Amino acid sequence: VLPPVVLLATLGLVWGCWQRRQGILLTVSWLLLLVIAANPHFLYLPGVGVVTYFAVLIAAYLPFSVLAGYSLAQLTERLIAWQPGLKWAILLAVLGLSWLGAQARLDTFQPDRAMVTDPDLAAMAWIRENTPPEAAFWINARQAYGGYTIVGTDAGWWIPFLTGRNSFVPPMIYGVETPEISDAPYQLYQLYLQTRQHPLESKETWQILRQAGVTYIYIGQRRGSVWRGTEQPFDPNALAGSPYYQLVYQRDQVQIFALAEREEG
């Protein structure tokens, strides 16, 4: 059984096209372009994989809601023209359904899935004021999308946007972009694997990070727990006991460690 919104959208599509409504024709064109964007090979165009089926499906509610709304609007106009007194019943029905819909959305809200928290925002302000523009951060991350894409698992992923500083884990779409350095995605993948061969607090990993240009470690309020995979998040206690890292900031669960510039002794 198709969801009501799909049935209403189909009715709105047929009705609007039959009436040659420009807005509906534009919405249909939008929907077709989404399908083509996910399947450019249908028209022998480049860009396969840039937009996935999943991305189209989670965005499909936008054109579908426009078409369904048009269908309901047309039906409402005809009902009111037939029985003017129905407008109050329709208004109450719309308000009631809106309330139920809002309640359903609130039930799906998961604040623990938010990467950036108030303590993280305070840390971002500290980073802007106390680190040089060339500062570079290594953050809690995991492998995703077949293992070759590295993604963040706490607020450290937002460092470039919120501070203007560099994070070695860029936004997730880097895998489908054309980077300035052609093998940059592969370099990040290799760096991630290398840092997992030894404990983060070890001399070996410190040397790998220093050679890559990392100057700070960021541990967010969520401690690498958002969208966590099988990897182990950074252990702040182990870093605090290592001679290769120095704690330079702490608030609540947020901690920032600076990498030592040279080996002790």
* pLDDT per position as a tens digit, 30-75: 999 999 988 888 888 887 777 888 888 888 889 999 999 999 999 9
Percentage of residues in the chain having pLDDT higher than 90: 63
Q: How confident is the model at residue 1 (pLDDT cuts 50, 70, 90)?
A: low
Asked if residue 212 and residue 157 are part of one domain, the reply reads yes
Q: Over 90: is that where the pLDDT of 2 sits?
A: no
**Cα R_g (the chain), whole angstroms:** 26
Asked if residue 101 and residue 117 are part of one domain, the reply reads no
The string of pLDDT tens digits covering residues 192-206 is 999 999 999 999 999
* 3-state secondary structure labels for all residues of 110-121: CHHHCCCCHHHH
DSSP letter string over 140-191?
-EEEEGGGTEEEESSGGGGHHHHHS-EESS--GGGGGS--SSTTHHHHHHHH
Residues 136 and 210: beta-carbon distance below 8 Å: no
Dihedral, CA atoms, 216, 219, 225, 228, nearest 10 degrees? Answer: 10
Average pLDDT, the chain: 90
Question: pTM for the whole thing?
Answer: 0.72
Asked if residue 158 and residue 58 are part of one domain, the reply reads no
The predicted pLDDT at position 222 comes to 94
Dihedral, CA atoms, 162, 130, 213, 164, nearest 10 degrees? Answer: 20
In one-letter notation, the amino acid at residue 262 is R
Residue corresponding to tokens 């939008």: 30
The predicted pLDDT at position 192 comes to 95
The predicted pLDDT at position 162 comes to 97
Last residue of a domain, one of 82, 109, 136: 109
Average pLDDT, integer, range 110-127: 93
The predicted pLDDT at position 228 comes to 75
Domain coverage including residue 83: 4-109
Highest mean pLDDT of the ranges 54-63, 76-85, 115-124: 115-124
Residues 35 and 63: beta-carbon distance below 8 Å: no
Cα–Cα distance between 257 and 111 in angstroms, integer? 27
Residue 191 lies in a domain: yes
The string of pLDDT tens digits covering residues 222-264 is 999 987 777 889 999 999 999 999 999 999 999 999 999 876 5
Asked if residue 153 and residue 215 are part of one domain, the reply reads yes
Q: Do the strands 166-167 and 254-259 form a parallel or antiparallel pair, or are they unpaired?
A: unpaired
Residue 30 lies in a domain: yes
Asked if residue 99 and residue 177 are part of one domain, the reply reads no
Residue 264 lies in a domain: no
Q: Which of 2, 121, 116 is nearest to 64 (CA)?
A: 2
| Token code pair at residue 16 | 């609007």
Percentage of residues in the chain having pLDDT higher than 70: 97
Asked if residue 79 and residue 175 are part of one domain, the reply reads no
Last residue of a domain, one of 55, 77, 109: 109
Residue 99 lies in a domain: yes
Residue 265 lies in a domain: no
Asked if residue 227 and residue 172 are part of one domain, the reply reads yes
Q: Over 60: is that where the pLDDT of 142 sits?
A: yes
CA 215 to chain centre: 25
Residue 122 lies in a domain: yes
The predicted pLDDT at position 264 comes to 59
Asked if residue 143 and residue 188 are part of one domain, the reply reads yes
Residue 49 lies in a domain: yes
The predicted pLDDT at position 112 comes to 78
The predicted pLDDT at position 105 comes to 82
What is the number of other CB atoms lying within 10 angstroms of the CB of residue 130? 11
Asked if residue 225 and residue 141 are part of one domain, the reply reads yes
Q: Do the strands 254-259 and 245-251 form a parallel or antiparallel pair, or are they unpaired?
A: antiparallel
Q: How far apart are the first and last CA of the chain?
A: 71
In one-letter notation, the amino acid at residue 62 is L
Look at residue 23 and give its three-state secondary structure. helix
Asked if residue 104 and residue 229 are part of one domain, the reply reads no
Last residue of a domain, one of 109, 135, 153: 109
Asked if residue 189 and residue 171 are part of one domain, the reply reads yes
Q: Over 90: is that where the pLDDT of 207 sits?
A: yes
The number of distinct structural domains making up the chain is 2
Average pLDDT, integer, range 213-219: 97
Asked if residue 190 and residue 159 are part of one domain, the reply reads yes
